[in-house]
Structure 1
């Protein structure tokens, strides 16, 4: 009995560094948003619920961050995030960010142009969700649909 207790304790001690390392290795997303934007805060909550650590920065002019991180003006929304060198514009779903980070395409980032109803942070209970696209964009401004979400 004592041997089993010792082995269990050793196994637990061995797991503690792995658990700490797993949390430390989660991607950090820096988000630049307006201090008064509720949907931006809801998007951050969506990201955190999906395992991302988020550093939110309230800024007076979000457009300056779109320019700084190379987001084409036509793909603009209400906040800009940055993770592992990729720009994230608007209400990009966490699943698409995870896919981006796993696939590591040669691209500047992802965007959900505008503020489509039903996208993460833009959900309204009892209201239908709009169809929208998550767009993968390049440094030269070209883009393609990365994922399409149907209306609900």
Structure 2
């Protein structure tokens, strides 16, 4: 169960001004091994990761502005941006460098080739999304 203070912490993180080299806070299920593998991918790419495990991520996703069509298995927050699902660390780094006016990045669902899944062969797209749920292709991967 996600503790109430975690929701308040998420809200504070979302409203805070961007910080330099802020860690990414990842909300995930304790039993999800692909989420753990994505956390390892982010750590191996130089990100500091704070993990908060919970058994109901719906309130976190709702507060973060992630609708059902954009959802995946875990939700991250970094420098005021939402990172939903198995987004490659290089795309997170690019987002932080460019600082576009978007809510965040997502890979809806769980593409088999994405970091943390690591089964080659499935092409996928990383989408940016705004507060209204509009999306645009941020990057494409051949799988």
Same fold (TM over 0.5): yes
Question: How many angstroms apart in 2 are the aligned matches of 1:64 and 1:130?
Answer: 30
| Structure 2 match to 1:68 | 63
> Taking structure 1 as the reference length, what is the TM-score of the superposition?
0.79
RMSD: 1.0
Partner of 2:133 in structure 1?
141
Larger radius of gyration: 1
Gaps of 5+ in 1: 1-24
Counterparts of 2:102 and 2:47 in 1: how far apart (Å)? 21
The reply on whether 1:48 has 2:43 as its aligned counterpart is: yes
Deviation, 1:62, is 1.4
Partner in structure 2 of residue 129 of structure 1: 121
Find the counterpart in structure 1 of residue 10 from structure 2: none
The 2-side partners of 1:95 and 1:146 are apart by: 12
Residue 79 of structure 2 corresponds to: 84
Matched length: 124
TM-score (norm 2): 0.84
CA drift at 1:131: 0.4
> In proportion to residue count, which structure has more helix?
1
Deviation per CA, 1:83-127, whole angstroms, max 9, x where unpaired? 000001000000000000000000100000100011000014xxx
